Structure 1
Amino acid sequence: MITWITQLPLWQIIRVLGLISFVLLTAGIGLGISYGFPFWNGQVKAKLYKIHTLSTNTGMALGLLHGMITVIDTYTPFSWSGVFIPFTAARSPVLNGLGTLSVYGMLLVIFTSDIRNKIKKKLWFLIHLLSYPIFVMTFIHGYFLGTDTQYTGIRWLYLVSALVVVGLSLVRFMITSGGPARTAGKPVSR
C-alpha cells in the first residue's frame, strides 16, 4: 500500500492542491468581503454566506492536505516538524513558515466563526480581520515558493486574486465609511 501511494504523482498533486486551495481561499475572502455590502437582501446574503463558508472550509482543508502530503513526497520530502512548526522547514524556511502560519490562522478564523454565537461579536470580528494578513501570507507563500509561478497564467492567477481582494476591500471600505458610495444623510448598516 505504501509503495502504491509513493508512486502517485505526489509532486503534481501537491502543486494542484496548493493552487486550488489558494483559489478557494481567495473566493472565500472575496465573498466574505462582499457579504458586508449593504445592498444585498436576506436571501442573497444567506447564499453568499453558504458559498463563503464552503469555499473557505474546503480551501483550508485542501491547504492542510497540500502541506501534509509533502511528508510522503519523494521529490522534495518534508519532515512533520518542517510542516507543522513554522520556519523550521529545511527548504525555504521563511516561505514555508508563512504557509504554516496561514494554516493556523485559517483554523483560528474558521473555529471562531463556528463558535461565533458563543463569543463577543467584537472579538469575533477582530479575529476575522486576520483573514487579510493570512491572505497576504498565503499569497507570498504560493507566489514566491510555488514552482508553477514560472508560468504566466499562474502568475496572473495570483495577481488577479490579489487585485480582486484589494478592490473588493476598497469598495467595502468606501461604502461603509461614508465615501462617495454612501447616500447623503443616511447611515449605512453593517
Structure 2
Amino acid sequence: MNWIWIAIRAAGLTGYLLLTISLLVGIYSHIPRKRGSFLTFHQIIGQVALLFIGIHAYLLIFDMYQPFSVSELLIPFTASYEPVLSGLGTISFYLLIIVVLTSDFMKKVGQSAWKKAHYLVFPLWFVSAIHGLFLGTDSASLWALALYGGSVLMVSMATIFLVWKKLSKKQKQSPVVT
C-alpha cells in the first residue's frame, strides 16, 4: 500500500473539509448573538486548514506515481500532470495564505483591506472544490461526490443567506423616498 498517496489524499480532503467548516462558521458568525467564540473557532480552523493543505502540497513531492517538483507546486499551471487543475490548487493555496495572513495582521493592514482580502475566501473555496472534485483520485466515488455535492450545497445556501441578510439590512437602513 502506498502510504504517501494515502497521506496526500487524507491531507487534501482534511484541508478541504476544514476550509469548508471555517467558511460556514464565518458565515454563521454573522447571525446576531452568535459571534463570540465562533470567530476564534473560525480563525483556528482556517489556520489548521492551511496547515493540512500545505502538508498535502508538500507530500506531492514524494508521490511515487506522479511526483511534483517544487517549481510545479509553487508556479501555477506548470505541472506536467493536469496543469490547469493543479494550478487551480496552487492559486487557492496562495489565496488562503493571503486570507489567513491578513486576518492574523488585521490591525496592521486595516479593517478595509482585511475585509476585501477576506472575501477572497469565496473564490478560493470554489476553486479548491473544483480542484478536488476533478483532480482527486476518489472523485468518482459515491462518498466523494456526496462530500463535494453536500459542501457545495451548504456553502451555496449559507452564502445566499448571507447576501440576503446583508441586502435586507441595507434596505432597512436606507430611507424610503416618497
What TM-score, normalized to structure 2? 0.91
State the shift of 1:120 in Å.
2.6
Structure 2 distance, partners of 1:186, 1:8, is 58
State the shift of 1:119 in Å.
2.2
2:109 maps to which residue? 119
Structure 2 gap segments, 5+ residues each: none
State the shift of 1:176 in Å.
1.8
User: 1:137-176: CA deviations, max 9, x gaps?
Assistant: 1001000000011111111101111111111111111112
Residue identity over aligned pairs, in percent, reads 31
Residue 10 (structure 2) pairs with residue 16 (structure 1): yes
Structure 1 distance, partners of 2:172, 2:102, is 35
2:139 maps to which residue? 149
User: Which residue of 148, 162, 165 corresponds with 2:152?
Assistant: 162
State the shift of 1:177 in Å.
1.1
Structure 1 gap segments, 5+ residues each: 1-6
1:171 maps to which residue? 161
Residue type of the alignment partner of 1:25: L
2:80 maps to which residue? 90
State the shift of 1:185 in Å.
5.1
Q: What value does the CA root-mean-square deviation take over the aligned residues?
A: 1.7
Residue 71 (structure 2) pairs with residue 81 (structure 1): yes
1:90-109 equivalent positions in 2, closer than 5 A = 90-109=80-99
Count, aligned residues: 173
State the shift of 1:46 in Å.
2.0
User: 1:73-123: CA deviations, max 9, x gaps?
Assistant: 212211111111111111000000000111110000100001111223221
1:31 maps to which residue? 25
Structure 1 stretches of 4+ with a deviation exceeding 4 A read 184-187
